[in-house]
Amino acid sequence: MELRVLRYFLAVAREQNISNAAESLHLTQPTLSRQLMELEQELGKKLFIRGNRKITLTEDGILFRKRANEIMDLVEKTTAEISTPEDTITGDVYIGGGETDAMRLTARVAAKLQKNYPDIRYHLYSGNGDDVTERLDKGLLDFGVLIEPADITKYNYIRLPVTDTWGLLMRKDSPLSKKDFITPNDLWNIPIITSAQTLVNNEFSGWLGADFEKLNIVTTYNLVYNASLMVDEGFGYALCLDKLINTTGDCNLCFKPLFPKFEAKLDLVWKKYQVFSKAAEKFLEIAYEEFL
What confidence score (pLDDT) does residue 199 get?
63
30 CB-near residues (< 8 Å, 6+ apart): none
pLDDT at residue 119, as a whole number: 87
The size of the chain, in residues, is: 292
The per-residue pLDDT for 194 is: 93
pLDDT at residue 180, rounded to an integer = 96
Query: What integer pLDDT is reported at residue 1 of this predicted model?
Result: 76
Cα separations in angstroms, 167 against 102, 124, 242, 256: 17, 26, 7, 5
Q: What is the pLDDT of residue 149?
A: 82
Report angle CA 158, 160, 163 to the nearest 5 degrees. Answer: 145
Q: Measuring CA to CA, which residue among 155, 175, 150 is closest to residue 234?
A: 175
Element (H, E) at 71: helix 59-82
Orientation angle between helical segments 278-291 and 103-116, nearest 10 degrees: 120
- In 136-156, which positions are buried (b, 16+ CB within 10 angstroms) versus exposed (e)? beebbbbbbbbbbbbebeebe
Output the CA–CA distances (angstroms, integers) from residue 112 to 106, 118, 122, 269, in the order listed: 10, 10, 13, 19
- What pLDDT does residue 200 have? 75
Which residues, including other chains, have CB under 8 Å from residue 32's CB and lie 6 or more apart?
A: 8, 12, 18, 21, 22, 25
pLDDT at site 53: 78
Instruction: Say if pTM beats, i.e. exceeds, 0.85.
Output: no
Angle between helices 29-43 and 3-15 (to 10 degrees): 110
Q: Give the separation between CA 168 and CA 238, rounded to whole angstroms.
A: 6
**139 Rama sector, left if φ>0, alpha if ψ -120 to 50, beta otherwise:** left
- Determine the distance from the C-alpha atom of residue 212 to the mean position of all C-alpha atoms in its chain, rounded to a whole number: 24
DSSP 19: H
Grouping H, G, I as helix, E, B as strand and the rest as coil, residue 154 is: coil
What confidence score (pLDDT) does residue 105 get? Answer: 93
CA atoms within 13 A on the CB side of 85: 6
Q: Is 126 exposed, middle or buried (0-12, 13-18, 19+ CB in 10 A)?
A: middle
Q: Which residues of the chain have pLDDT under 70?
A: 81, 84-88, 198-199
Strands 48-50 and 55-57: antiparallel
pLDDT of residue 84: 66
